[in-house]
Structure formats: structure tokens, C-alpha cells
Structure 1
Amino acid sequence: FKGHKLIFTGINSEDGVNVVSSKNRKTPDSVSAQNLTKNNVLSFSHQYTPTKNFSNKLTASWYTNQGGGSVESEFLDPTLNRKNFENVSADTLAPYLLGFKVRSEFTFEKYSISDKLYYYWGNNLFEAGAGVDFLKTIIDFKFDLDPELKAIFSANPGLRTTINSIKDIKNYKRYNFYLQNNFELSNNLYIQPGLRYDYYEVLDKSYFAPRISLSYGIDDLTTIRGSWGIYYQSPGYEKLRDQNTFYDLTRKYTEFLESEKAIHYVVGLERWLTSEWLLRTEAYYKDFRDLIVQQIEQGGNYFTERVPGGDIRSVSGWTRPVRNIGDSLTQIPINNSFGEAYGVEFLLEKKNSERGSNFSGWISYAYAHANRYQRRDIIPFAFDQRHTVNIVGNYSLGSNWELGFRWQYGSGFPYTEPIGLKPRILLLDTDNDGKPETPVVATRASYANPNSNEVIFDIDYGDRNRFNARKPAYHRLDIRVTKATKLWNYDWTFYLDIINIYNRTNVVGYSFYVEDDLTLGRETNSMFPILPTIGFSVKF
């Protein structure tokens, strides 16, 4: 259509899991898991461009992510060394198994309507847009945990949270509007002020976010850029899967809750070294405010101490557990944290713009810090990575053959290293009123001598000891060879991908356990080894 462009998009996907442990399994764990997840996307866009100075794009979309599942499991106490319990029957290991059940149903649905307008007037560009999201979330999670598993969670400050069943249905809307204009003040000076408005019905609050960017051309090859802006992010159940945190977003808790806020400061320099080589450097600072965390309530933790000269494996070697005032996380969201991220980035890019040039690619390096401040503690964000390097290249070999490669390096992400071991403490119902109230040092039959009981030990992560260590550096090299050809009047591309070609063992994390001599053991969990794949694509 003259001046009109219509775009339709549709995606449907389903993922299902149905797992039951084999009777012939080598490990003592058993699991029964069922899960079905459906994702659907429908989108329609109408772009109208009657003149070269004006364009408008209207988009309507629908997205849904829904599913449900259940997990029932008996697994080996995570404080034990799994290698010592392979090929042993579950009946024999019954005292060492913990139970866990969870049933879940969820629906995240969003209808969106948005409109964006572009208008060139003189040497200036005006842009405006508006949109509304209609969101519906339904969550229903039911938990049933073994008391000893709860004790393990209590021993880890990173997991010390109230794991309650939660059920909620929430319908809410988000409105937004923005406008900005890129002004050409002179041949080499441009400024772009802007303003965004957001209304989050889940909070019943409105926010205005001003922003501005500036670019100045020192000469034909060098440009200085800078920007400043305020950004807001609303809480919502649709973020549950990304953040892995349960928040109770009922009105009584969101009435005084604010949206998370970030203020960005960016300055950069761009320089063309030749007609093909571009050097860019950028420094940034991000100020995070009103970060949402789980409310902490005073809880009842228990501790015990060694009896001088006593047997560490025997209950008599420990004092009677006493109550200690400790922290317990709830599902109540509050704005009780702030943070910052800052760093510098360098990019050297080779563009394939000259005739006869077969190579293109880029090299980048980033140095960064990202910390949050909470209750007088400085805690790095999970994504805090000090050094990051990327080297990417593509080389045309001729005859429609192409070789590509990518090397990535990243210094270690933070993780929590335990400080030692401590006895597991359980609450028992000694007065038969149906409520456990008496703390005792937990014991079980000795694996070496089933006729005697010995103290069960948990991993001790310390009280406020989060992210106190770093994983090893991550690096890998991937290569890709492609061949383009024409078959049956269609354009085909065949490729060979090899991920992690030198088979680097990159660490995902660690599993900690108690050794037989009551020292702390550690097992490394790694990412994929070398992984070759072949495939093809066709355009028709």
C-alpha cells in the first residue's frame, strides 16, 4: 500500500517436562516432576509514512506465559558428600533423605497498545509516543518442606526467608507517554531533551522522568557525547521468574511502596582513526535508589557452643541450644536499599566499508563496579564483574564462505563462600500441643555404625556474609563457518558452530558438603564443554 506498511507476528511455543526417577538410578535421590509452560505472542503493526518528513507506527500486541506443575522429591541431605552414597538403596538411606513438595500454577498475560510518531522539521527530529499495558497475573504456589530442610535454609542467610504458600490474582495497568526533540544548534552541536511519564496502577503512583543528551563534533572525525536521565521500574508478578523472589503485592503492602529509581550519567568520546577503524570510549555512573527488598523481621534463630573436651560428634559435646535474636526475611516488599554502578568501556571497531576488504569485527574492554548498600552492608550485585573483554571477527573466505569467531573473557562473578560448619538445630513438639517449640541438636544414625547416633552438621555461611568471594575467570572461544548457496531457487545457508573450542571448564557455582572428618568439602559445577553443532537456514 502506498505509504502504508503492515507487519504481523505470531509465535506459539510449549515446553513440557514429565520426569520420574528410575528404579535403577545410581543416586539415592528420587523426584517426580511435571511441568507445562505455554508462550503465545500476537502482534500487529501499521506504519504510515505519507511523506519523507512524517511517520507514525501503531502497534497492538498480546503476550501470555502460563503453565503449572508439581515437584515431589526426596533427595540426599545437601550437606553430605554425594559420592559416598552412590549405588546405595533409598531404603537404607531413609534417615539421610529430605522431602520437598511444591505445586504451582501461574498466568502472566499482557495486552499492549502503543503509538510512535516521528516528524522531521528543518534539521530537527521530533519524536513522541504513548502506550498502555493491560496486565493480568495469577499465581498459586503451595510449599511443603521437610523440617530439616527448613533448618538448612535457616542456616544460610541467603535463603533465610519465610517460604509460605502464596495465592493472588491481580489485574493492573501501566500507562506511559514520552516526547523528545533532537535540535541542531549548529553544524556540530546537537541537543536532545526529553520527558517520560509513567503511571503504575499496582502502586497507584505516577512518575515523571526527564532526560537529556548532547553531542558535539570537535572536528569531522571526533565527537563528544553526554547524557543524563532518570528511569523508573515498577514491581510486578511478571518479574517473579527473573528475580526468583516472592513478593506480596497486595494493596496493604504497596500503598507506601515506591518504584525503583535509577539516575544515569554517561559521557563518551568517538574518533574515526581511518575510514574503516572507529575508536569509542564511554564512562558511566548509575545511581540506584528505592531498591525493593524483602522486609526483615526479628526471628528466632538458635545456636549452641562446644563443650570443652566433649565429643564433637555427640550431642553431649554441645551446649543446650538457646534462642538468638536473628533476622528473618518476609514476602513484604519495602524500599530499603540503594546502590550504584560505575565503569568505563572501550571499543575498537573495524568496519568492512572499503572495496576489497574481507575482514570486520571489534574488540571491547569494560571495567565496572556494581554494589548495593543495605543495612550498613556493602553487597556486590550478582552481575558485578570487574573486567570484561570481547573479541569478535568475521572474515570472508571467498566463494560465499565465511569464518567468524568470538572470544569472551570475564573476571569472576561474586558468590557466597561458607565459613565452616555448625550443628543442625530442630524444633520438637515435646508437650504434644501440635506446635514444635523445643530446640534440640539434630542427630541421626551413623552411616558407619547404625546403632549409634551422631550430630548432623550444616554448612555455616555466616550471618551477614553474602557474596564474600569470587568465582574463577570465565573465558571461551566460539567459531562459526558458514556457506551460502542457492538451491531450488531459494537462498540457503549451511553452518558449523563450535562452542568453547578449547574445552575450557568454566565454573557455574559450587556445591558444599560435610566431609567424613567434619571438614568442608566443595564440588565444582561447570558449564558446557566443547559443543559442536551443524545446521542450515533457508529463505523463501
Structure 2
Amino acid sequence: MSIVRWKDLRCLHVLMVCFLVSGLQTARAQPLTTVTGVVLDGVTNAPIADVDVVSGQRTVVTGSDGRFSIAVDTETSELRFKADGYLDSVAPLVGGDLEIRLFSSRFAETVEVVSDIAEIEGPSSTPVTPDAVFRAPGSIDNVFRTLDTLAGVASTDDFGSRLAVRGGTPDQNLTVMDGIEVHNPYRLFGIASAFNPETVENFQLTAGGFGAAYGDRLSSLLIVDNRRGRSEFHGSTSVSVTDANVVVEGGVPIGQGGSWLFSARRTYYDLVAGRLQDQNFPSFADLQLQVGWEFGPGHRLTLTGLRSIENADLDFDIDRPNERAALGSDVVNNLASARFDAVLGSRATTTTTLSWYRNRETIDFDGLIRADARRSNTADDALAFGLSTILFDRSINVRDLSFRQEVGIQASPRHLFSTGVELHGLATSVGFSITGDRNENVANGSSVRGGAGLPGQLDSKLQGTRGALWFQDTFTPSTRFSFEPGLRLDWSTVNGGTTVSPRLAASYLLGRGARMRFATGLYTQSPGYEKLTQSDYFIDLSSAREAGLLHEKAVHVVLGIEQELSSDLTARVEGYFKRFDDLLVGRLETDAERLARVAQYDFPVVLRDSIPFAPSIVSDPTNDAGGDAYGLDVFVSHSNPAAPLTGWLSYGWGHANRDSYGRRYAFEYDRRHAFNAVGRYQLTSRWDVAGTMRLASGFPHTAPVGLRVSAVRDRRGRLVPATDAVGNLVYGVDYGGIDNLNRARLPHYARVDLRVTYQRGGASGPWSFYIEVINLLNRNNAVVLEPRLSHDPGSERPRLSEVPEQGFPRIPTFGLRVRF
């Protein structure tokens, strides 16, 4: 990076530090006692925005996440809460973080308010508002691109949305929308998110130690709560670099207290570029409709439907002669659900959710292209490079018919019991057809990017039932201390396995705005193709039960301290440890398989070193992997959107290791250091500027150990040395054996995104427009290092080098939002 770039990074860093220092000075000057808390809907547990919190002559309003912070006199003993459509409530000040539940004014004429220490945010839990997704530079209205600026969270690449959280793989993350498990939360291969921020009430990421109500994943939990439609007609429309979006909502004319919300999104660039190029560029369109009715006090029925279609039929123009490539894809996501929330008496609530989900994906690639990592040392590139044939078809189908029942019982002022059951009737399948050359640039043969260990033909179907029972008790013996023991039972007919997972969380109010949180527990994950959408590797589960595959397991331990530095400034420090056992990986070839493969080579003795004698990784599964992850995360947030300067800082230090194939090595998304700064400064009532800075150490990397002579199959079916048109040997990259996996590191990652926004009429104005530059400094980040071979006049072999690829170039973008 040049000197100029480092100066720019330092300027943004200094700006964020000044913002923190100003917050600290405010904290020192505060003469009053600060009370914080959250206001929730008493039926749905959803945060309520725009609630007036009143203390004497002082009034504040809750944010979109339902949270508030108010300065009160030391003699104040209670707060009053007022919101349209809800009963006014008064809550006593008993110390600690308050949790206030409001009930609709149509439910009853009176309501008893219980105020105690709230366990609304467990350890490692971070709420992210839709407004933060919209405003964060570099997010492209995608929540996953915002989440990767949090401590302990790493995006696996620039163009996709898959996340690695505290030493876990992307397929170990659970995503739940309104109580429904979402198996494919991405659009356009991950460029966009399945979740429209315009229709979402709140995002909540828990990086570890989540409660017993959720399971079948080892790493993290993302909860997405969609908001209800408003009773009066409203609408908005927006355009971003990826898609256009329309949202309309209003009251339901049938019944009482009903509302509806409809949204539609679609890419638009394909409509223009497709006509100009006569191509079907990758595109998506989705529709979402939510309708809800209230039936008597505390009862609400919500119906939701979602349909999403993605497709592409693209022929690539390649300037070099005889080369061609064509890509086709078809992805469909459909969801239908019914949810019934009810208040049972004065002490119990229940939520019943029935849903049907279908994800179907097909992708095919047909190409004859030059392999830049396979050539002879002939000076003429036209002769040196050969052409690789790539014929690849893959299909994934997931159908999930699910039922979820949750019950909450306030047994006493100190005990809140939560219990529930969930069932998933799963029908999944995976199909493969690979008839061309394999990808020689992946060290793991089970890689979904065309690894040599993938089956040439596969049609695997899995049907089964996955279910769980859970119970937990939130026990609050005092206003300063609470803890939550829980127990979860999971089972799956796919492998016939059953697991029992104890969990425990605790919270202690230290005083002066400080709170300590702790969580530990066992987490398990069953084998299933429904996780394949987010996986880097393919394993064949056709005989999962017969093979005796086990549930994967992880133990979490999290300890953190959160300190309120002022009414809007919060800091959190967390240490974590995860131990992984029985992880599923592709097994190594047996000696018989290895010898049979090696026997196909007909190389002369002088080229014997080019025969890959080491065992390869295949797609047959085994539970013979484990590992651990540990680290320290720091998160500082200034949460007042009305302040001139707001945003957050995060820093993560961590180690993640894997134990498999007889060795211990760095996990592929092990990131030792990561710093993120997201800030927005209000220049005037209409103009603001925002920036995001990412600076992180590189992921582990399997570097080539040298070159080997490539092989080609002759008429006898034997593998013989490959030669070019004039008889010179053709070489390919040698990645060595298992002992070379992840021994090297990618270069560090650094990126700055900058946005300038104009808001007509200020924050509540009818429209806004922004221009943004992603990767402002145009740094060529190495998301991967691709091997390249070039002519070496001083050697018999070509020269091997590695070049950075797959990082964002400098991308100018824009966005427009209009409300009506």
C-alpha cells in the first residue's frame, strides 16, 4: 500500500478516535443517573420503536431496536411509557437494564408491568437495525456485508455473503426468519441478501452461546424479525446498484386490527444489458406478502408468502481462438407460513408456526478455456497453453415442511419458563455430473469448485425427520443477577442420532453501567444436504445411516463485560473458546484406492516424481475431524442516529485450528487480527458523509510446492505425460499432500468504502440519494491467490507465480430511496 493510502487510513482512524473521545467526555460531564432498557411487544417480543419514555420533564424516544437511554434524577422511582396503539404503562426503577413489555390497547383495559433485569441480549449478541444496513458504506443493502464489520465475523469472499463466525464454517450458521429456518439466505450467488431491509424490524446476530430454543448448528445464530404493516397506507421505493425495490402497506379492510405489507424486488441492469448484448444476464426477482389479523385480546394470526426466482443464461465472449464458455443457472425459493401468537391469561404466551419451504438450484457450465496454471515452457503462448474442457452440472433440492411451538410461562416474578418443540419433514437431493477436466487449483479434492475427489455422476436423495425439544428457565433471584439454565434434545432420522445439549447463561450487574455476561453449552449439528448451500466442500450422505455418521459437536464458552460509557456510547469486551468434535470431512483414499489410481499412470522413471502418490481427499464422509477456536473481541458502538457523529468500531483477535488427517493446522478462515470502523458524520441537516474501513490479516492459504508434469489419458485409458503441439512437456501446479494444507497465508486485507448522502427534508424527509465508492483506494486484495505459469527462458520448466484475485475493484455505486 502506498504512503498516500496509509495516510487516508490514518485520517479515518483519527476521526473515529475523536468520536470516541467526545463520547467519553460527555460521559464524564453527565451529572444525572442514566437508565437504559428495551421496550418489547408483550405478544410477539418484537422491539417497539418510537415509544415515549417519560421521566418528569424529560422525554426520550426508543430507537428502531426498541432500546432507550434516559437521564433521570436520583430521586426518580418510576418511568412512564407511551406508544400509539399500546396501553400506557408505568414501570418502577429497580436497577439494571429494564425490559418493558407493552400490550395493545385493544387487548385489555389494564396491564401489569413487570420490570427486572433483562436477558434480552445474551453474550455475543448484537442487534443490527435495518437503518444500519442501509447506511453502512459497502453493505449494498445486504445485511451480511454489514455483519462482517462486527468483531469475530469474517466474510469468506468479497462478492458473496457467506460468513465465518469465530472459527466456524458458513454451513454452521443458523438463519431464522420469524421462527422459520431459512436454508438459502442469499440471492445472485450471494451478491444480494434474501432479506429486504425495508420490511425487516430487526436483525440479531449471536456469535455463540445462544439459548436452548435454537440448535442444529454449531457456530452462530442470525434472527430476522419482519415488521408488521402499518394500519394506514404507506409506501416506499428504492434503487441500489443491484436491484430496485417497492414496498406498500396498509390496513386490512376485513376484521379488526389487521394490516398487510407487500414488497417486490428485481434486478434491472439485466433488462438493459441483456437487450444490448442479447444475453440473459444473472438476475433475480422476489415477491413477499404478509397479512395479519388480531382476534380478541392478545391473539394474532399472521400469514406470510415469499417467492424468489433467479436465472442466468450467459455466453462469455473470449478473445482467444477456439475458446468458449457458457453458464446457466435456475434458482427458486418459495416459502409459505402461518403463525399464531396468543396471550394465555396473565402469565403465559404461546407462538405456533407452520411453514413450507422449497429451495431448488440448478447450475451448469460448458466451456473450453485456457488453463493459466497449465502450460509448457515454449515461448509461444499459442503453443504452450492447452485448452481444458469443463462440463459441469449440479442440482440441489430442499423441501422443508416444519412445525414450531413455543410457550412462555411467568411462573413467578423470579422464574420465566420457556419450552417448545420443532419438527422438520425434509426431502433433499443432490445431483452431480462432471465429465470434463477437474479443477487442479484446489488442494482439497472434495471442494465444490470442481475438486478431483467429487463423484463424476451422482443422484443422491435423502428423506427424513429432524426434531427437537427444549426447556429453559430464566431465573432472576435479585435485581443484579440472573441466570438461564436450559436443556435441548435433538434427533434426526437421516443418521438415526440423538443428542442432549445442556446450556447455561448468566448475567450480573456490576454497577455504574457495567454488566458481566457468561454462557456455555453443547451445540450439535446433524448431517443433511440442507446445509450444502453454504458449504465449501461436498460430502456424499447417501449412506449416512449405514455409515454410522454422528452429529457434529461443539462446546462454547463465552465471558464478556459490557460498559455503558454514556447514554449513547457502549463498549463490550468478550473472550470465547470453542471446541469442535466429530466434524464431518471427506475421508482420505484407502491404500487400495490410492494404488489403483497410481496404477493408471504410465510415466517414465525420470518423471516418476510427477506422479501424485500421496492419498487424496474424496467425498465419502467421516467424523474424524475436530479443532478449537479462541479469541478476544472488542466492540464499541455509538447508537444515537440523531448525533452528528455515530457508528461503531470492532477489533477481533483469534486463533482457529483443525485436527484432521493426522495433523493439526490452521482453519481456512482463521483470521488472527481484524479491525473495522463504520462511521457517519452529519455535515448539515441534509448532507452526511459515511465511511467504512476494513483492515485484517490474511486467511490461511495452501501454496504450491512446485510443478509437476501434467497427465493426459491416451487411447488405452492410461495416464501419460502431456505434451504441447511441438512435443514439449506440459506442466501443472503441485500442491503437495495433506501435510501442506494451509501452511501459508494470504496478504493482509484492507479496504475503504466512502458514501455521500443527500436527504431531502432531513432524516424524516420524503427522499434521499447517495453516491458511493467501494474500495476507494483501489487496493488489489487477495481473496485468493491464483497460480500463473509463464515462459522462463532460463529453465526447462515454466515460471510459477501467484496473483491476487476475486477482490472488489474500485466500484462506484449509487442509491435512491423515496417514501410516500
TM-score band, normalised by the shorter chain? 0.7 to 0.9
Pick from 540, 544, 548 the counterpart of residue 248 of structure 1.
540
- RMSD of the TM alignment (CA)? 3.2
Pick from 498, 501, 511 the counterpart of residue 773 of structure 2.
498
Q: What's the offset of the Cα at 1:440?
A: 3.2
Structure with the higher fraction of residues in strand conformation: 1
Is residue 604 of structure 2 the alignment partner of residue 349 of structure 1?
Answer: no
Q: Secondary structure at the match of 1:240?
A: helix
Aligned to 1:379: 665
Pick from 469, 477, 496 the counterpart of residue 177 of structure 1.
469
Aligned to 1:311: none
Is residue 741 of structure 2 the alignment partner of residue 466 of structure 1?
Answer: yes
Q: Secondary structure at the match of 2:328?
A: strand
Pick from 711, 730, 737 the counterpart of residue 456 of structure 1.
730
Q: What's the offset of the Cα at 1:279?
A: 2.2
Aligned to 2:308: 13
Please tell me whether the aligned partners of residues 588 and 661 of structure 2 are also in contact (alpha carbons under 8 angstroms).
Answer: no
Aligned pair in 2 of structure 1 residues 125, 207: CA closer, same or farther (>3 Å)?
same
Matches of 2:401 and 2:381, distance apart in 1: 52
Is residue 513 of structure 2 the alignment partner of residue 221 of structure 1?
Answer: yes
Please tell me whether the aligned partners of residues 196 and 209 of structure 1 are also in contact (alpha carbons under 8 angstroms).
Answer: yes
Structure with the higher fraction of residues in helix conformation: 2
Please tell me whether the aligned partners of residues 443 and 735 of structure 2 are also in contact (alpha carbons under 8 angstroms).
Answer: no
Q: Which amino acid aligns with 1:364?
A: S
Pick from 334, 354, 362 the counterpart of residue 60 of structure 1.
354
Q: Secondary structure at the match of 2:736?
A: coil
Aligned to 1:369: 655
Please tell me whether the aligned partners of residues 375 and 386 of structure 2 are also in contact (alpha carbons under 8 angstroms).
Answer: no
Is residue 425 of structure 2 the alignment partner of residue 134 of structure 1?
Answer: yes
Aligned pair in 2 of structure 1 residues 177, 505: CA closer, same or farther (>3 Å)?
same
Unpaired segments of 5 or more residues in structure 1? 304-314, 431-435, 447-452
Q: Which amino acid aligns with 2:652?
A: A
Aligned to 1:231: 523
* 1:467-511 CA-partner distances (Å, limit 9, x unpaired): 121112112222334444579x99444333332223222222122
Matches of 2:469 and 2:321, distance apart in 1: 56
Q: Mean Cα displacement is larger for which, 180-189 or 519-528? A: 519-528
Aligned to 1:288: 580
Aligned to 2:606: 318
Matches of 2:374 and 2:649, distance apart in 1: 45
Please tell me whether the aligned partners of residues 215 and 223 of structure 1 are also in contact (alpha carbons under 8 angstroms).
Answer: yes
Is residue 392 of structure 2 the alignment partner of residue 102 of structure 1?
Answer: yes
Q: Mean Cα displacement is larger for which, 42-51 or 185-194? A: 42-51
Q: What's the offset of the Cα at 1:257?
A: 0.7
Q: Which amino acid aligns with 1:119?
A: I
Q: Which amino acid aligns with 2:636?
A: L
Please tell me whether the aligned partners of residues 130 and 178 of structure 1 are also in contact (alpha carbons under 8 angstroms).
Answer: yes
Q: What's the offset of the Cα at 1:6?
A: 3.4
Q: Secondary structure at the match of 1:241?
A: helix
Matches of 1:250 and 1:16, distance apart in 2: 28
* 1:111-140 CA-partner distances (Å, limit 9, x unpaired): 222122223331432222221112111222
Aligned to 1:336: 624
Is residue 502 of structure 2 the alignment partner of residue 210 of structure 1?
Answer: yes
Please tell me whether the aligned partners of residues 498 and 532 of structure 1 are also in contact (alpha carbons under 8 angstroms).
Answer: yes
Matches of 1:411 and 1:508, distance apart in 2: 11
Matches of 1:375 and 1:50, distance apart in 2: 54
Please tell me whether the aligned partners of residues 367 and 387 of structure 1 are also in contact (alpha carbons under 8 angstroms).
Answer: yes
Q: What's the offset of the Cα at 1:286?
A: 0.0
Q: Mean Cα displacement is larger for which, 153-162 or 254-263? A: 153-162
Please tell me whether the aligned partners of residues 12 and 40 of structure 1 are also in contact (alpha carbons under 8 angstroms).
Answer: yes
Q: Which amino acid aligns with 2:734?
A: D
Matches of 1:515 and 1:317, distance apart in 2: 26
Matches of 1:426 and 1:150, distance apart in 2: 14
Q: Which amino acid aligns with 1:104?
A: R
Q: Which amino acid aligns with 1:260?
A: E
Aligned to 2:703: 417
* 1:325-347 CA-partner distances (Å, limit 9, x unpaired): 53133322110111000000112
Q: What's the offset of the Cα at 1:62?
A: 2.1
Unpaired segments of 5 or more residues in structure 2? 1-293, 793-797
Aligned pair in 2 of structure 1 residues 380, 316: CA closer, same or farther (>3 Å)?
closer
Q: Which amino acid aligns with 2:391?
A: K
Q: What's the offset of the Cα at 1:271?
A: 2.0
* 1:53-81 CA-partner distances (Å, limit 9, x unpaired): 43322222222121434322111134247
Please tell me whether the aligned partners of residues 361 and 394 of structure 1 are also in contact (alpha carbons under 8 angstroms).
Answer: yes
Please tell me whether the aligned partners of residues 510 and 525 of structure 1 are also in contact (alpha carbons under 8 angstroms).
Answer: yes
Matches of 2:750 and 2:652, distance apart in 1: 15
* 1:264-305 CA-partner distances (Å, limit 9, x unpaired): 0111112223333322111000000001111212313659xx
Q: Which amino acid aligns with 1:216?
A: Y
Matches of 1:236 and 1:344, distance apart in 2: 32
Matches of 2:578 and 2:480, distance apart in 1: 28
TM-score normalized by the length of structure 1: 0.84
Aligned residues: percent identity?
28
Q: Which amino acid aligns with 1:172?
A: G
Matches of 1:365 and 1:393, distance apart in 2: 15
Q: What's the offset of the Cα at 1:210?
A: 0.5
Pick from 785, 800, 813 the counterpart of residue 510 of structure 1.
785
Aligned to 1:262: 554
Q: Mean Cα displacement is larger for which, 318-327 or 166-175? A: 318-327
Matches of 1:326 and 1:476, distance apart in 2: 39
Aligned to 2:50: none
Matches of 2:413 and 2:469, distance apart in 1: 24
Q: How many residues align?
A: 506
Higher relative contact order (CA 8 A, sep 6+): 2
Please tell me whether the aligned partners of residues 406 and 478 of structure 1 are also in contact (alpha carbons under 8 angstroms).
Answer: yes
TM-score normalized by the length of structure 2: 0.57
Matches of 2:643 and 2:430, distance apart in 1: 55
Aligned to 2:175: none
Pick from 794, 802, 805 the counterpart of residue 525 of structure 1.
805
Matches of 1:153 and 1:216, distance apart in 2: 48
Aligned to 1:535: 815
Matches of 2:443 and 2:633, distance apart in 1: 41
Q: What's the offset of the Cα at 1:175?
A: 0.6
Matches of 1:86 and 1:69, distance apart in 2: 35
Q: Which amino acid aligns with 2:731?
A: F
Q: Secondary structure at the match of 1:318?
A: helix
Pick from 402, 406, 410 the counterpart of residue 116 of structure 1.
406
Is residue 691 of structure 2 the alignment partner of residue 405 of structure 1?
Answer: yes
Q: What's the offset of the Cα at 1:203?
A: 0.9
Q: Which amino acid aligns with 2:403?
A: I
Aligned to 1:308: none
Is residue 563 of structure 2 the alignment partner of residue 271 of structure 1?
Answer: yes
Q: Which amino acid aligns with 1:43?
A: S
Aligned pair in 2 of structure 1 residues 334, 127: CA closer, same or farther (>3 Å)?
same
Aligned pair in 2 of structure 1 residues 260, 27: CA closer, same or farther (>3 Å)?
farther
Matches of 2:535 and 2:428, distance apart in 1: 16
